[in-house]
Structure 1
Amino acid sequence: MRFLNIYLLGIFIGLTGCKNISSSVVDSVFFGGEIINPKGDEVIFYSRDGKISDTLKLDNNNRFQKKFASIETGVYYFRHGSEIQLIIIEPNDSIMIRLNTYDFDKSLVFSGNGAKKNNYLLKTYNQNDRNNRKLVKHSDKEPEVFEAFVNKRHQRQLKDFNRFTENKKISEYAKSIIKANIDYNIYADKEIYPFAYFGENKMVHVKDLPESFYAFRDNIDYNSDHLSENFAYKRYLFFHFDNMAVNYFYNNNEFHSKFDRHELSYNKAKLELIDSLVQNEIIKNNLLKYKTRAFVNSSNSQDDINEIMASYLSKTTSEEDIKYMNGLIASLDNLKPGKGLPDINIINVNDEEYTIADVVKKPTLIYFWSTNTKKHYKNSHYRVKELKAQFPKMGFMSININDNPDKFWKETINQYKFDLNNEYRFKNPKEALQTLAVNYLYKVIIVDRKANIINPNVNIFSKDFEGKLNDMIQKKELVLR
C-alpha cells in the first residue's frame, strides 16, 4: 500500500515500556488507514469502556489518521457505518488499516507495527463466523459425536495459533486475547448445542449429556475485564446463562414439562445467576440489560414485565441502562396491537417527506435494513419478494435505518434494483429506532390500512410465518381491500 509510506513519513512514535501490560499507559499510538467505498465520512474510535474516544474524519482520498497520546494498553474498537472491529493496542504500535465496505471483514487488512496480532485476531473472527454459520448442520449429531467434532476443531485452531506464535513474536497480553477468541467460541458452541439438539420439548435431557461435556466450565472467568468487548466471550456468557437456568426451570416444573424460553421464572433465574456469579460491573450490567431486554421485547404480559424489571433494577448499577430500559418499555407500550403507529417521518427516493401513516393505504408489512449488513438486506428483500407473490393485496414498506448521507442508501437500492416505490429512510434514525423499539434488524411490524398496529414484532424468516399471516387474514385482523 503506497499510502502507508505517505502516512508514516515523518511520524515518530515514542512509547514507554511497563511491567504490568494490562494497565500500562502508552505515551502515543498512531492509527490510520483508508476506506474503499465508504459508507460515511468518518471512523469512530471507541475506548475500552465503550465511550467514543475520537471521531476521525476521512479526507478527500477516503483516508484518516490520528496520533493518540496517553492511551492505555488494551482492546479498543473502531466503527465505520454500522460495522465494528476490535483492535489490540500496545506500546510501539503504529497501525494502519485498509478495507472495502462491500466486504468489510474479509477485505480488512492491518499493516504497520502491531499488525501481526490484529491480522491474526481478525483471522480467528472470520473462522468463528464461518464455524458459527455451520453449527446448525452439526447440532443434530449425538452428544459424544458433537463433542468430539468441536474438540477436534478446537485443537486444530490452537495448533495453528501455536505455530503462529512460534514464528511471530507477540506479547502475552495479545496471546491471551486471541486464544480467548478461539476458546470461548468453542465453549459457546457447547452451550448452544442442547437448545438445538433437544429442542424445547426435550430440554430436560440436558442432564444426560456426557460428564465431560462441560468440564471447561471449571476454568471460566466471569470477570475477565480485558475480554469485556470480545465477541466470543460475550457470546459464550449469553448462552452459558441461558443454559445454566434450564436446570432451575426443571427444578421448579414437572419433569416432562415443555421447556419455555419465554417463561418468567426461567428468565428471572438468568438474572439471579448473573448477579451471583459476575462481579465486574461492565460485564454484569451488559448481561443484565440484554437478558432483560430480550424478555421485555417478547412478553405480552405487563405483570411479567413489571416483575422482571423489578428484578433487573435491584441488580444493575448503570443509571444509563436503566434510562434506556425505561424508554424501551415506554416505546413498547405505544406499540401494542390496536394502537396507531407513532408519527415517524420518512423520506422516499425522490427526497419527499411523509409520515409512515401517510404512505400506508392498505395492510402493510414494515421491515428495516442497514446498508452495512449486506447479508441481511439481500435476504430480507428477497424474502419480501416471495411474500409479495403470495400476498398480492398486502403492502410492503422497506425502511433504511442508517444515519449517514443518503447517497449510500441510494447507491445500494440502485445497485440491487430494489423496488423504488417501497423504499424509504428515516428522517431522524436515532429517534425513530427508539420510538419503534427497533433493537435488531429482524424486527417487522404489521399494520392495517389505517396504520393501526396488528403485530409489533414478527419474524418473516420463521418457518410458520405464512401460516400466521394467513391466520391474521382469516380472523380479519387484516382487512385486505
Structure 2
Amino acid sequence: MKSAVICFISVLCLACSRNQNDLTYFGGGIVNPKDDYVILMKQNDIIDSIPLDKNGHFSAKLNIDKPGLFTFKHAFEYQLVYIEPKDSIKLRLNTLDFDESLVFGGSSAIENNFLIENYLLNEKNSELIFSYYKISPQDFQYKTDSIRTSRENKLQQIKEKHNLSEAFVDIAQKSIDFEFYDMRERYAFLMNKYNQKKAKNINADFYSYRNKIDLKDDNIPNLFGYFRFLDNYLKNLSIEICQKEHSYKDCFDLNTYNNLDHRISLVDSLIKNKHLRKRFLERFIQEEIIYAQNTKHLKHTTSLIDKFNFSEVEKKRLKSLVDFQSSMIVGANLNDIKIKSQDFINHKLEDVIKKDLSVIYFWSVQSPSHHKLRIKKIKELKLKYPEIQFIGINIDYKFPDVWLDAVKNYNYNSKNEFMIIAEEHSPFYRNYLNKVFFISKDCVIKKSEIILSNVDFDKHIKDFIATKNL
C-alpha cells in the first residue's frame, strides 16, 4: 500500500509541475465514488462543481487569485485543500476510508499532505482527551506543550527543506495553535464538570492563549481546529457567565435555553467573520428554539431572528420552526400527530396510546450511531418501567422500506413502532432526535426538555410515574 502511494505521488510530482499560464489545475481520482461530481468551495461560496468520468477521475482549471484554504466535497464527505495561484494539484482517495486514504500530489503536495497528516493526528487527540482529563493540570500542560512542539518542529523541517510560502506557514502554524487551544478548552470543561477539586489547580496561565486570539482573522475560518476551538471556547465562556449569575444552577447542561442564549450573545459580541458568525448564529438559534420551554422563550428567540441579518428564506424557516416548537412544549397536546403503522394504516397518536403514561421518542435510520445507542437504552427502560408505554416514531418517511427493515433487524416491538406521515412540517422532526417527550393518557406533554443520555434520566421517569397518583 505504501509503495503504491509513493509511486502515485512520484508520478504526480513529475506530471503536475506548476502551470505556466495563469490558471490553477485541480483534479484527481476517487475510488468507490458516491456521487457524480466533486464540489470545490471557499467558505460557503461554490467555486466549481466538477463532474467525475466513468473511472472516477475529475479535473478543472480555475482562476485562483490568492493562496488559501478551500473545501472540496464529495457526497456527504468533505476535507480541506490548500491552493496557491497557478498550482497543479491532484488528489486521490477511497470513499470507504475517506480521510485516511487521502493523498495529494502536484505542486502543493507537501503542504496538503502535512495538513491532512495533522488532521488525522488531531482526531486521535480527540479520543485521548478523555483519558488526559484525569491527570493534573500541570501534567496536562506538559503533554499538550510536547504535542505542540513536536508539530512545530515538523513544520520547521519541511519549511527549510521545501521552501514553503509564508502564506502556508501562517496557516499551518495556526492549525497547530488552535488544536492546542482546543485541547486546553476541552480539558477545562471536563475538569470543571467532573473533577472540581483538581480544577481548582488550574491557574490563570493555563488560559494565557485566550489573550492572543484574533477573532477578526479572515484567513482561518476554514480550519477544522479553529471552528472546534471556537465551539468549545464559547461553551466554556457561557458556563462561566452562568456560574457568575446563578451559582445554584447546574451550568454544565449545555442543552438549555439559557446556556444557548448566552452563547448567542457571545457570538454577537465576539465573532465578526461573516461566514462563522452566520454559521454559529443559525445553529445556536435553531437549538434555542428546540430547547425553549415556554412561549416567553419562543417570543424572545423570534426577536433574535429579526435582529440578525438572515436571508428571508432562513428567517422563514426559523420562524416556521418556532411555530412548530410551540406545539411541542410542556402543556401542548400531541393527539393530532399523524403516524402510520407497519401495515401502512394511518393513525393519530391518540389512537395508539394504551397506558396512562407514555414516553415518545423519534429516531432515524440515517443517524446509525445515535440510533444504536438509543436501542440499548430503550430496551433497558422498557424492562425497568413496564407501566410506561415507550413509543418509537421513525422520521424517515421518504424511505418506508428502510424503516421496516430496521424494525425487523433490530427486533423492535412492532406494536409500539410507527412512522411519521409526510406533511409540510415533517422535516422538523429531525431536530428532535435527542429529545424524548413524557406524555399523559390524553397526549398532553408533561416534560419535553429531557434528552435520553441525561444522567438523571431515571430520576425524571420516577418523578413522572409519581404524577400518576397525584
Q: TM-score, normalised by structure 1?
A: 0.73
Asked whether 1:462 is paired with 2:457, we answer no
**Counterpart pick for 2:467 among 454, 475, 479:** 475
Asked whether 1:227 is paired with 2:220, we answer yes
**TM-superposition CA deviations, 1:7-34 (whole Å, max 9, x none):** 99xx9898478xxxxxxxx724323422
Q: Report which stretch shifted further, 151-160 or 467-476.
A: 467-476
- Alignment length (residue pairs): 451
Find the counterpart in structure 2 of residue 97 from structure 1: 92
Asked whether 1:133 is paired with 2:124, we answer no
Change beyond 3 A, Cα 1:343–1:152: same
| Cα offset, 1:447, TM superposition | 6.3
Find the counterpart in structure 1 of residue 172 from structure 2: 178
Q: SS in structure 2 opposite 1:475?
A: helix
Tell me if structure 1 keeps the 8 A contact 2:302–2:322.
no
Mapped partners of 1:212, 1:260: distance in 2:
24
Q: Which AA in structure 2 matches 1:75? A: L
Find the counterpart in structure 1 of residue 144 from structure 2: 150
| Cα offset, 1:437, TM superposition | 5.3
Q: Which AA in structure 2 matches 1:366? A: Y
Q: Extract unaligned runs of 5+ from structure 2.
A: none
**Counterpart pick for 1:34 among 15, 30, 34:** 30
| Cα offset, 1:222, TM superposition | 0.2
Tell me if structure 2 keeps the 8 A contact 1:360–1:451.
no
Asked whether 1:236 is paired with 2:232, we answer no
Q: SS in structure 1 opposite 2:141?
A: helix
Find the counterpart in structure 1 of residue 363 from structure 2: 368
Aligned positions of 1:378-457 closer than 5 A: 378-390=372-384, 394-395=389-390, 397=392, 399=394, 417-419=409-411, 432-433=426-427, 435-436=428-429, 438=431, 442-444=434-436, 456=448
| Cα offset, 1:328, TM superposition | 2.6
Asked whether 1:332 is paired with 2:332, we answer no
| Cα offset, 1:382, TM superposition | 4.1
Q: SS in structure 1 opposite 2:42?
A: coil
Aligned positions of 1:151-166 closer than 5 A: 151-166=145-160
| Cα offset, 1:443, TM superposition | 4.4
Tell me if structure 2 keeps the 8 A contact 1:367–1:444.
yes
Mapped partners of 2:232, 2:77: distance in 1:
23
Find the counterpart in structure 2 of residue 307 from structure 1: 300
Change beyond 3 A, Cα 1:143–1:445: same
| Cα offset, 1:427, TM superposition | 8.4
Q: Which AA in structure 1 matches 2:456? A: D
Asked whether 1:198 is paired with 2:192, we answer yes
**TM-superposition CA deviations, 1:114-164 (whole Å, max 9, x none):** 444333322222222222233233224333333233223322333344344
**TM-superposition CA deviations, 1:24-62 (whole Å, max 9, x none):** xx72432342243x5x4345525223244555555555x
Q: SS in structure 1 opposite 2:44?
A: coil
Q: SS in structure 1 opposite 2:205?
A: coil
**Counterpart pick for 2:251 among 256, 260, 264:** 260
- Higher relative CO (Cα under 8 Å, sequence separation at least 6) belongs to 1
Mapped partners of 2:171, 2:157: distance in 1:
16
Q: Which AA in structure 1 matches 2:27? A: F
| Cα offset, 1:329, TM superposition | 1.7
Find the counterpart in structure 2 of residue 20 from structure 1: none
Q: Extract unaligned runs of 5+ from structure 1.
A: 18-25
Identity fraction in percent: 20
Find the counterpart in structure 2 of residue 21 from structure 1: none
Change beyond 3 A, Cα 1:13–1:124: closer
Mapped partners of 1:471, 1:271: distance in 2:
32
Q: Which AA in structure 1 matches 2:180? A: I
| Cα offset, 1:375, TM superposition | 4.2
Q: Which AA in structure 2 matches 1:158? A: E
Q: SS in structure 1 opposite 2:27?
A: strand
Tell me if structure 2 keeps the 8 A contact 1:34–1:99.
yes
Mapped partners of 1:427, 1:82: distance in 2:
26
**TM-superposition CA deviations, 1:161-215 (whole Å, max 9, x none):** 4344445554433333333233212212222333322229969x98973131111
Aligned positions of 1:13-32 closer than 5 A: 15=19, 27-32=23-28
| Cα offset, 1:98, TM superposition | 1.5
Mapped partners of 1:176, 1:230: distance in 2:
12
Q: Report which stretch shifted further, 416-425 or 128-137.
A: 416-425
Change beyond 3 A, Cα 1:406–1:365: closer
Tell me if structure 1 keeps the 8 A contact 2:215–2:270.
yes
Find the counterpart in structure 2 of residue 22 from structure 1: none
Q: SS in structure 2 opposite 1:300?
A: coil
| Cα offset, 1:233, TM superposition | 0.8
What is the root-mean-square deviation of aligned Cα atoms in Å? 4.7
Q: Which AA in structure 1 matches 2:114? A: Y
Q: SS in structure 2 opposite 1:47?
A: strand
Mapped partners of 1:463, 1:185: distance in 2:
29
Q: Which AA in structure 2 matches 1:172? A: E
Tell me if structure 2 keeps the 8 A contact 1:340–1:452.
yes
Mapped partners of 1:189, 1:12: distance in 2:
37
Change beyond 3 A, Cα 1:115–1:326: farther
